[in-house]
């Protein structure tokens, strides 16, 4: 089903935010919509968005390529994006990330065998006073998890496996 059909209400709401002659502005919110179910934007969705906005597929693909929160490949159902930037690293983020990966038996960038979690290292998330912290990017959007320990993260991962965040 095309994006406009599947999410007709959402698409209309998004387009209403911008002047009709500048509807290209809707490309970013539409990409989030397209990414919602699979966790990445596939070629068909890019084509849909290009058609809705009267731009080329190449335009859409170049947006996907530029911004780090859009993905064109499948990964785990949840991306666990651990902040390892300078202020968090001063508060133990690198050790946290190492220990977490050790516990999961994967390396940064890899996905757990059951396909539920991909662990990534990312730049500052504006939560530097609450390190160690990470965000999860998944079917219900992006959520912050702050003041984390490896134990609490493992509990969270168990909950995610059970389909609850």
Partner 1 sequence: MTHILLRHRDIPDMDKLNVYKKNGGFAAFKNAVTKMKPNEVTDVVKNSGLRGRGGAGFPTGMKWSFIDNKNWPHYVVANADESEPGTFKDREIMENNPFQFLEGLAIASYAVGANVAYIYLRGEFWQVAAWLDEKIAEMEEAGYLGDNLFGKDYSLKIYTHLGAGAYICGEETALLESLEGKRGQPRVRPPFPPSYGLYGKPTIINNVETFTNVPMILANGADWYKSMGTADSAGVKIFSLSGRVRKPGNYELPFGATFRQLIYEHGMGIQDGRPIKAIMPAGASSSLIVVDEKVLDTPIDYAAVRTLGADLGSASVIVLDDTVNMDWVINKTIHFFKHESCGKCTTCREGNHWMRNLTDRIHHGKGSSEDVKLLLNVAKQMQGKCLCALGEFSTMAVVTGIERFPEDFKKAVKA
Contacts of 109 (CB under 8 A, 6+ apart): 118, 119, 120
20 binds partner 1 (CB under 8 A): no
85 binds ligand FES (CB under 6 A): yes
146 binds ligand FES (CB under 6 A): no
119 binds partner 1 (CB under 8 A): no
**If phi over 0 gives left and psi between -120 and 50 gives alpha, with beta otherwise, what is residue 163?**
left
Max distance between CA atoms of the chain, in angstroms, equals 52
Q: What count of other Cβ atoms lies within 10 Å of the Cβ of residue 6?
A: 15
Site size for ligand FES (CB under 6 A)? 10
154 binds partner 1 (CB under 8 A): no
159 binds partner 1 (CB under 8 A): no
Q: Taking Cα atoms as reference points, which of 70, 67, 65, 4 lies closest to residue 31? A: 70
| Nearer CB in complex with partner 1: 7/154 | 7
Binding site for ligand FES (CB under 6 A): 83, 85, 87-88, 124-128, 131
């Amino acid at each position: 089903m095309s994006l406009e059909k599947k999410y007709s209400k959402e698409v209309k709401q998004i387009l209403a935010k911008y002047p009709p002659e500048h509807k290209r502005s809707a490309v970013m919110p539409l990409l989030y919509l397209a990414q919602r179910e699979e966790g990445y934007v596939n070629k068909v969705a890019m084509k849909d968005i290009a058609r809705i906005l009267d731009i080329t597929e190449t335009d859409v693909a170049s947006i996907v390529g530029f911004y780090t929160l859009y993905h064109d490949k499948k990964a785990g159902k949840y991306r666990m994006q651990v902040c390892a930037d300078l202020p968090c690293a001063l508060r133990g983020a690198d050790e946290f990330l190492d220990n977490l990966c050790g516990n999961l038996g994967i390396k940064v960038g890899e996905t757990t065998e059951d396909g539920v979690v991909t662990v990534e290292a990312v730049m500052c998330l504006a939560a530097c006073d609450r390190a160690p912290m990470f965000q999860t990017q998944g079917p219900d959007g992006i959520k912050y998890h702050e003041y984390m320990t490896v134990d609490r993260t493992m509990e969270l991962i168990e909950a995610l496996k059970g389909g609850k965040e």
